[in-house]
């Protein structure tokens, strides 16, 4: 229990806890932990997973406002091969500042045509939209125009960033 040992509980409900580890990646590092026994995301009930990710997103806003950070990372080490050190799903919510010294960079790997084709075949479920449910539970088609939709108004990330820059 590396991150959860000696962590301070900030809030909790019946499904999740928000904690601040005493030895986090940076000051203000928060973790969101489900109260159910789940080692990886796929073991979580969909309602708990939705709550975990929604709360993580809201905590990013809290960190922007309270700590005046320049950015945030949402980070899950999903399995031992991904660096998971605790025996539970943990969503890390990490405030970031320019030149904070924290480096989450990975080197890119160029795939050959054969390997790309094999992966495309193995992951074809995504192309068939099996993994993207609609609001009524049916599979849906994602139009490329949807990906370019511009969100306007008070919830716009860029508008919030601009306001933060004016402080």
pLDDT at 83 over 60: yes
Each residue of 6-48: pLDDT tens digit? 889 999 999 999 999 988 889 999 999 999 988 889 899 999 9
Give the integer Cα–Cα distance in Å for 39 and 44. Answer: 9
Write the DSSP assignment of 19-88 as a string of letters.
EE-TT-SSTT-EEEEESS--SSGGGS-HHHHHHHHHHHHHHHHHHHHHH--SEEEEE---SGGGT--SSS
Which tens digits make up the pLDDT trace of 85-114?
Answer: 888 899 999 999 999 999 888 888 899 999
């Amino acid at each position: 229990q590396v991150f959860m040992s000696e962590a301070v509980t900030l809030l909790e409900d019946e499904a999740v806890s928000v904690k601040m580890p005493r030895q986090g990646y940076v000051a203000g590092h928060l973790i969101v932990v489900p109260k159910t026994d789940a080692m990886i995301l796929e073991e979580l009930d969909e309602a708990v997973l939705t709550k975990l990710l929604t709360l993580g997103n809201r905590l990013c806003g809290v960190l922007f406002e309270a700590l005046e950070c320049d950015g945030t990372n949402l980070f899950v080490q999903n399995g031992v091969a991904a660096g998971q050190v605790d025996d539970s799903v943990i969503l890390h919510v990490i405030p970031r500042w320019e030149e904070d010294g924290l480096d989450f960079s990975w080197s890119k790997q160029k795939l050959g045509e054969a390997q790309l084709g094999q992966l495309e075949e193995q992951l074809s479920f995504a192309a068939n939209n099996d993994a993207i449910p609609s609001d009524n539970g049916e599979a849906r088609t994602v139009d490329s125009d949807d990906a370019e939709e511009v969100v306007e108004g008070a919830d716009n990330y860029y508008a919030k960033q601009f306001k933060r820059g004016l402080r």
